[in-house]
Amino acid sequence: MPTPPALFDPDLLALRRARAEAGEPADFLREAAAAEIAERLSEVNRSFRAPVIIGPRGALWAEALGLPGARLIPDAEVLDLAEGEADLIVHALALHWANDPVGQLAQARRGLRPDGLFIAALFAGETLTELRRALAEAEVETTGGLSPRVAPMGEIRDLGGLLQRAGLALPVADSQRLPVSYATMFHLMRDLRAMGETSVLRERSRRPMPRALLARAAEIYAERFGDAEGRVGATFEIVYLTGWAPSPDQRKPLRPGSAAARLADALGTEEHGAGERAGDARVQEDRNEGAGENGTS
| pLDDT tens digits, 13-45 | 999 999 999 999 899 999 999 999 999 999 998
Distance, in Å, from the CA atom of 57 to the CA atom of 30, rounded to the nearest integer, reads 9
| Helix, strand, or coil (residue 250) | coil
Q: Name residue 262's amino acid.
A: R
Residue 194's pLDDT band, with cuts at 50, 70 and 90, is very high
Q: Is residue 135 part of a domain?
A: yes
pLDDT in tens, 89-145: 999 999 999 999 999 999 999 999 999 999 999 999 999 999 999 999 999 999 877
Q: What is the DSSP-derived secondary structure letter of residue 127?
A: T
DSSP-derived secondary structure for 81-125? --TT-EEEEEEES-GGG-S-HHHHHHHHHHHEEEEEEEEEEEE-T
Pairing of the two strands 112-123 and 51-54: unpaired
Closest CA to 295 of 177, 125, 174: 174
In a domain, 269, yes or no: no
pLDDT of residue 288: 42
142 lies in some domain:
yes
Give the confidence band of 70 by pLDDT, cuts at 50, 70, 90. Answer: very high
pLDDT above 90 covers a percentage of the chain that reads 71
Does 18 reside within a domain?
A: yes
Residue 232's H or E segment, with its range, is strand 232-244
Of 55-64, 262-271, 278-287, which gets the smallest average pLDDT? 278-287
Mean pLDDT of 262-282: 40
In the predicted structure, residue 198 carries a pLDDT above the cut 60: yes
Question: Which residue has better confidence, 244 or 143?
Answer: 244
Whether 188 has a pLDDT exceeding 90, the answer reads yes
CATH classification of the domain holding 22: 3.40.50.150
Q: Is the pLDDT of residue 234 over 80?
A: yes
Q: Which of 192, 194, 187 is nearest to 21 (CA)?
A: 194
- State the DSSP code for 22: H
In a domain, 266, yes or no: no
Is residue 52 within 8 Å of 111, Cβ to Cβ?
yes
Residues paired with 52 in a beta bridge: 71, 89
Residue 4: per-residue pLDDT: 63
DSSP string, 58-88: HHHHHHHTT-TT-EEE---SS----TT-EEE
In a domain, residue 51? The reply is yes
State how many domains the chain has: 1
Residue 79 within any structural domain of the chain: yes
The predicted model gives 259-269 an average pLDDT of: 49
Q: Which domain holds residue 136?
A: 10-246
State the Cα–Cα distance between residues 82 and 112, nearest whole angstrom.
Answer: 9
Q: State the average pLDDT for the chain.
A: 85
Length of the chain: 297
Domain-located, residue 252: no
Asked whether the CA dihedral 284, 289, 295, 297 is positive or negative, the reply is positive
Alpha-carbon separation of residue 192 from 129, 131, 144, 212, 268 (angstroms): 14, 11, 26, 21, 49
Whole-number pLDDT of residue 257: 56
